[in-house]
Amino acid sequence: MLDIRVVGDEVLRQKAKPVRRVNKEVQTLLREMAETMYEADGIGLAAPQVGISRRVIVADVGEGLVELVNPEILYREGVQTGFEGCLSIPDLMGEVERAQNIRVTGLDSHGRQVWVDCDGLMARCLQHEIDHLDGVLFTDLAVNVVPRTARADDEEVVLD
């Protein structure tokens, strides 16, 4: 399991660099990030959270693993509001407004271009992860931040 960086670590505030080629090193990173995400009981993880300032994310909201290199949101539609948590901000959760539907493109672990159309929790998760690549944390966007224990049973919480 990779070390998860927490708020205060500078890498979380850097704009991550694009990956030039999906090589073995990137494939290893994707695999180790997925293992770390599952181990930590998260539904998503972005490379800066494990100290790597590259545009790489993984997510699994219960519908299977999604790996994206250089992800980019092509469009956003609608609005949803819900609570999010973050493995890099262990003590807090906050209510964040996100797009309800998004279309994302990026490269998979073989370097092939893929498109992901999603809504609800998956859309929320991917927006949260892609924010990490730009050095944005959910607490920058949240309208209401509370201690995590206050709503620990909330099913919509994104723990990435």
Residues that bind Zn ion (CB under 5 A): 86, 160
**25, 32, 72, 129: the active-site residue:** 129
CA-nearest of 114, 116, 121 to 154 is 121
List beta partners, residue 158. none
- Least Å distance between CB 85 and Zn ion? 8
**Nearest to Zn ion of 57, 86 (CB atom):** 86
To the nearest whole angstrom, how small is the minimum distance from the Cβ of residue 128 to Zn ion?
5
CB of 155 to Zn ion, least distance (A): 17
Taking CA 84 as the corner, what is the angle to CA 79 and CA 86, rounded to the nearest 5 degrees? 140
Q: Which two tokens stand for residue 95?
A: 């209510």
Catalytic (active site) residue 129: yes
Closest to Zn ion by CB, 4 vs 19, is 4
Instruction: Specify the residue, 10 or 25, whose C-beta has the smaller distance to Zn ion.
Output: 10
Residues 100/79, Cβ–Cβ less than 8 Å: yes
d(CA 27, CA 63): 21
Q: Which residues are catalytic?
A: 129
